[in-house]
Structure 1
Amino acid sequence: MGFFKCVFLILSFLLLDPVPSFADSSSLSSKGFSEVSANFLNFARKKEVFDWIVGVRRKIHENPELGYEEFETSKLIRAELNEMGIPYKHPIAVTGVVGFIGSGKPPFVGLRADMDALPMQEMVEWEHKSKVPGKMHACGHDGHVAMLLGAAKILQEHSELLQGTVLLVFQPAEEGGGGAKKMIDAGVLENVEAIFGLHVSHYLPIGEIASRAGPILAGSGVFEAVINGKGGHAAIPQHSIDPILAASNVIVSLQHLVSREADPLDSQMPLLSISEMTGNAALSVASLFGGPCLTIETIGDTLTTVSSVCQGKSQQTEVVTVAKFQGGGAFNVIPDSVTIGGTFRAFSKKSFTQLRQRIEEVIIGQATVQRCNATVDFLDKEKPIFPATVNDKGLHEYFREVAGDMLGIRNVKEMQPLMGSEDFSFYQEVIPGYFFFLGMMDETKGKLASIHSPFFKINEDALPYGAALHASLATRYLLELQQKTTLLSGKQHDEL
């Protein structure tokens, strides 16, 4: 049975009320559209609604789960949807959940939240600290889920406005697991017109949001290379083939891929980050949205970049961070082999493909020069390559209008692209999609730690904004689509 046939059956059994008349909603003026956004934000700010959203977020935060292990998180989501009388489909992509609000018929529009946590120990001491050793919601996904459930409550309360069906996409395994791709493979995007997603930002003030048309986040992949030589005593290196020297030359040459082979005037030039250190399990610690944890050095570099973007300053477009180099364990022994690993990033498929090819050529070639041999693994199965996150230009104008009505156009910021990556990009390869950043900084409460930091925490005052924006984007999208369809139908009728 097809995915949406199954949905129709679920809705027919679970939605006991007749489909409401949309006569009033279909005649909404542009002023009425703007009032929808304001009303949704006011609803989300109600004490009982706000307290509920915060409570959901705290429950999830206390029980973090890694990618494809979000069983309790999924259970909580389903319980809340049941409480609201919202039908859903589960399981999808192991732990994923998709809820349905509205008529159960086309058009369909999607809202997405990622559910997974990170393998790191929380260092924030507070009442709702992670109860699971070595696991933490350090990227805000607990807040993302809470905001999407908040949007569900808003939409259910105002379901008479829905001129179609809203899909609530609760997705597993964003942190390197490619959960979005598995959701797509399960048919989640079948007949869906567009999809929206967000990410919390510790650099944007509460009440502000940032995004852009076109590329907003880079595509990313990972690689791991083993360079084999011949071990021996440090006192007689002439009897050895030194893989450490070979690996050092490899790293220097990889940096040249950006500084000497990419056009310095190209704002979409590739980025290569070698970003795993001995004792760190991450191959992508230099990324903003993938990999377990930033190192102290890369935190500084990354925060500088994000700060510049959010303040409207120019962005550094090429960065090479060396952070994995695993070799021998003795001071006087040349090892047999060395392992290096890292990530590579670009904003276009062409640049990405070229960079991948050159990484392999450089590693093997430089190893050969030093009398070593090398193997390169791009780990495609374990860590799928993320495409660039590219916002649909038409949705960008729509987003600015909706967000401007809710927050004031001065609080809707244009940003430069970031070299971080997001698997939301998989959705955008199939249908028009839009991704944006939600501010949560409050200077009166002190500076917030960065995402992927053990000291990261969410400013919960930002949650109503995300919930209301989600709900408003979906509702108005369906309303405006219905209005355009009606106008087009009327025009065709007049011509006949």
Structure 2
Amino acid sequence: MSFSKWVSSVLLLLHLLNPCLMISSSSSSLTSNGFSQIPSKFLTLAKRDDFSDWMVGIRRKIHENPELGFEEVETSKLVRTELEKMGVSYKYPVAVTGVIGYVGTGQAPFVALRADMDALSMQEMVEWEHKSKVPGMMHACGHDAHTAMLLGAAKLLKEHEEELQGTVILVFQPAEEGGGGAKKIVEAKVLENVSAIFGLHVTNQLGLGQVSSREGPMLAGSGFFEAKISGKGGHAALPQHAIDPILATSNIIVSLQHLVSREADPLDSQVVTVAKFEGGGAFNVIPDSVTIGGTFRAFSTKSFKQLKKRIEQVITRQASVHMCNATVDFLTEQKPFFPPTVNDKGLYQFFKNVSGDLFGTENYFEMQPLMGSEDFSFYQEAMPGHFGFLGMQNEAHSPMASPHSPYFEVNEELLPYGASLHASMATRYLLDLQTSSPDKSYEKDEL
């Protein structure tokens, strides 16, 4: 450990033991008034007009040029360009289009911050100056804001790099929307020896500057399925000479709903939704086949596996009842199963403390579990992790549209809040590790 970092650690330890012994330092020092002052100082810096305008500009560039999972070529190029301007080192490509940045000592302990970069296949319906320029694609889930906020955090951290007691790993991840980009990041082994990882998601359900989270399971595990039901086509006026796959499929869809309403424990939340139905094209022709597809969700691995098993059984056996054949594909090559998102107990309390220091304890809200899913869960399977929500609803405006809506919008005033929360969690986490385990040597663990 360098002399300057040793002195910094000693001062921090003295402050924890007796705040009155804290030696005065320059006003730019994050820790001059204790750990609780770190978030507010970061927020003040992030709210500077030049700083917030810079983040807004980045978010709008990304929004105008949305890219789908594993196709984020221009988005990752923009990220790399901004990191280079800051003097932040990075690895690229990781997991096809991902970027992994590094700020700090280059040595352990390591803490990671994650932002997803991909857009959705959806036509934007909001008319504004920076509307998506790509037909049929838009950032309808806030990933453009997530990327801008993490770049903002990178800038804050780089400006105070000398005070970091370890290394912050910046994860700019591709393909969260069903592609399992987090799984590929983990498999790339760029997060080994990471002690904790944090992720944030914007939400219209909370006001600006409000946050929510919960300990333990918060988002469901999810999977997708697609099935082809094949019969025998014919004239609609002569159904006795055909084998109708539409009728068979209609019964399959109804039976799939019984898996939750009549087989699942009412206290064990599960969902099966058929969201795709394709087949036929004429009013007087029974088609040869029908294709359906959808998603299923559960909070426990056991329930998830049982639901998967029963979906396949219901589809194939109901098809047989109607003299049809059926094949079921769970699409794991394109859309891997997402495990449930489960927050680490200690990190949950840490997030609650840091966000309380930043926004006030009155602006923290305990959330109920949601049936939505997040591939952040792949990180949590590999290391302790915490995922939380950051509000952006401006009470002076009409209610904002929910994610995955073509009318989804981002209140750009939230960007400084997200950047400062990211930076605060990383900085405080590293300081907590050093002060709680001052005798532990991290010097041998390097990037």
TM-score (norm 1): 0.83
Please state how far the C-alpha of 1:22 moved relative to its aligned partner: 4.7
Q: Distance in 1 between the 2:438 and 2:277 partners?
A: 62
Deviations 1:325-365 (A, max 9, x none): 22211222221111111101111110000000000011111
Match of 2:412 in 1: 460
Q: Distance in 2 between the 1:125 and 1:344 partners?
A: 34
Say whether the 8 Å CA contact 1:25–1:161 is kept in structure 2: no
Say whether the 8 Å CA contact 1:161–1:479 is kept in structure 2: no
Match of 2:249 in 1: 247
Q: Distance in 1 between the 2:379 and 2:118 partners?
A: 18
Deviations 1:251-309 (A, max 9, x none): 11100000001111x2x33211111xxxxxxxxxxxxxxxxxxxxxxxxxxxxxxxxxx
- Return the match for 1:404 from 356, 378, 381: 356
Match of 1:294 in 2: none
Match of 2:34 in 1: 32
Match of 1:367 in 2: 319
Q: Distance in 2 between the 1:333 and 1:20 partners?
A: 80
**After superposition, where does 1:442-461 map in structure 2 within 5 Å?**
442-461=394-413
Please give the secondary structure, in 2, of the residue aligned with 1:59.
helix
- Return the match for 1:221 from 220, 223, 227: 223
Say whether the 8 Å CA contact 1:19–1:103 is kept in structure 2: no
Q: Which amino acid aligns with 1:159?
A: E
Say whether the 8 Å CA contact 1:54–1:460 is kept in structure 2: yes
Q: Distance in 2 between the 1:202 and 1:248 partners?
A: 36
Say whether the 8 Å CA contact 1:138–1:452 is kept in structure 2: yes
Asked if 1:204 corresponds to 2:206, the answer is yes
Match of 2:274 in 1: 274
Q: Distance in 1 between the 2:247 and 2:273 partners?
A: 20
Change in 2 beyond 3 A, CA 1:149/1:19? farther
- Return the match for 1:171 from 173, 180, 184: 173
Q: Distance in 1 between the 2:228 and 2:289 partners?
A: 7
Please state how far the C-alpha of 1:447 moved relative to its aligned partner: 2.1
Match of 1:432 in 2: 384
Match of 1:85 in 2: 87
Say whether the 8 Å CA contact 1:45–1:464 is kept in structure 2: yes
Q: Distance in 1 between the 2:335 and 2:421 partners?
A: 31
Match of 2:5 in 1: 21
TM-score (norm 2): 0.91
Q: Distance in 2 between the 1:439 and 1:150 partners?
A: 17
Say whether the 8 Å CA contact 2:5–2:165 is kept in structure 1: no
Please give the secondary structure, in 2, of the residue aligned with 1:380.
coil
Say whether the 8 Å CA contact 1:228–1:243 is kept in structure 2: yes
Q: Distance in 2 between the 1:432 and 1:80 partners?
A: 29
- Return the match for 1:351 from 303, 310, 328: 303
Change in 2 beyond 3 A, CA 1:389/1:329? same
Q: Which deviates further from its counterpart, 181-190 or 350-359?
A: 181-190
Deviations 1:69-117 (A, max 9, x none): 1111111111111111111111111111111011100110000000111
Match of 2:431 in 1: 479
Q: Distance in 1 between the 2:4 and 2:90 partners?
A: 20
Q: Distance in 2 between the 1:22 and 1:149 partners?
A: 29
Match of 2:48 in 1: 46
Q: Distance in 2 between the 1:252 and 1:456 partners?
A: 31
**After superposition, where does 1:25-424 map in structure 2 within 5 Å?**
25=9, 27-28=11-12, 29=15, 32-264=34-266, 266=267, 268-275=268-275, 324-424=276-376
Please give the secondary structure, in 1, of the residue aligned with 2:106.
coil
Change in 2 beyond 3 A, CA 1:190/1:464? same
Please state how far the C-alpha of 1:24 moved relative to its aligned partner: 2.5
The two structures, once aligned, show a CA RMSD in angstroms of 1.5
Q: Distance in 2 between the 1:215 and 1:153 partners?
A: 32
Q: Which amino acid aligns with 1:109?
A: V
Q: Distance in 2 between the 1:63 and 1:44 partners?
A: 25
Say whether the 8 Å CA contact 1:25–1:160 is kept in structure 2: no
Please give the secondary structure, in 1, of the residue aligned with 2:404.
coil
Q: Distance in 2 between the 1:19 and 1:61 partners?
A: 45
Extract unaligned runs of 5+ from structure 2: 17-32, 442-447
Change in 2 beyond 3 A, CA 1:25/1:154? farther
Change in 2 beyond 3 A, CA 1:337/1:353? same
Q: Distance in 2 between the 1:233 and 1:134 partners?
A: 36
Say whether the 8 Å CA contact 1:148–1:467 is kept in structure 2: yes
Deviations 1:25-79 (A, max 9, x none): 5543466111011111111111111111111111111211111111111111111
Please give the secondary structure, in 1, of the residue aligned with 2:277.
coil
Deviations 1:210-254 (A, max 9, x none): 111111111111101111111222222222221111111111110
Say whether the 8 Å CA contact 1:22–1:160 is kept in structure 2: no
Say whether the 8 Å CA contact 1:105–1:165 is kept in structure 2: yes
Q: Distance in 2 between the 1:132 and 1:377 partners?
A: 30
Match of 2:26 in 1: none
Please give the secondary structure, in 2, of the residue aligned with 1:111.
strand
Aligned length: 422
Q: Distance in 1 between the 2:47 and 2:208 partners?
A: 13
Q: Which amino acid aligns with 2:100?
A: V
Q: Which deviates further from its counterpart, 60-69 or 120-129?
A: 120-129
Please give the secondary structure, in 1, of the residue aligned with 2:378.
helix
Say whether the 8 Å CA contact 2:89–2:101 is kept in structure 1: yes
Please give the secondary structure, in 2, of the residue aligned with 1:444.
coil
Q: Which amino acid aligns with 2:8?
A: D
Q: Which deviates further from its counterpart, 127-136 or 188-197?
A: 127-136
Q: Which amino acid aligns with 2:257?
A: Q
Say whether the 8 Å CA contact 1:99–1:168 is kept in structure 2: yes
Extract unaligned runs of 5+ from structure 1: 1-17, 276-323, 490-496
Q: What's the % identity of the aligned pairs?
A: 67
Say whether the 8 Å CA contact 1:108–1:164 is kept in structure 2: yes
Q: Which amino acid aligns with 2:146?
A: H
Q: Distance in 1 between the 2:4 and 2:319 partners?
A: 69
Please state how far the C-alpha of 1:126 moved relative to its aligned partner: 1.7
Q: Distance in 2 between the 1:19 and 1:454 partners?
A: 55
Q: Distance in 2 between the 1:100 and 1:112 partners?
A: 12
Please give the secondary structure, in 2, of the residue aligned with 1:160.
helix
Say whether the 8 Å CA contact 1:155–1:471 is kept in structure 2: yes
Change in 2 beyond 3 A, CA 1:167/1:19? farther
Please state how far the C-alpha of 1:487 moved relative to its aligned partner: 6.7
Q: Distance in 1 between the 2:352 and 2:40 partners?
A: 14
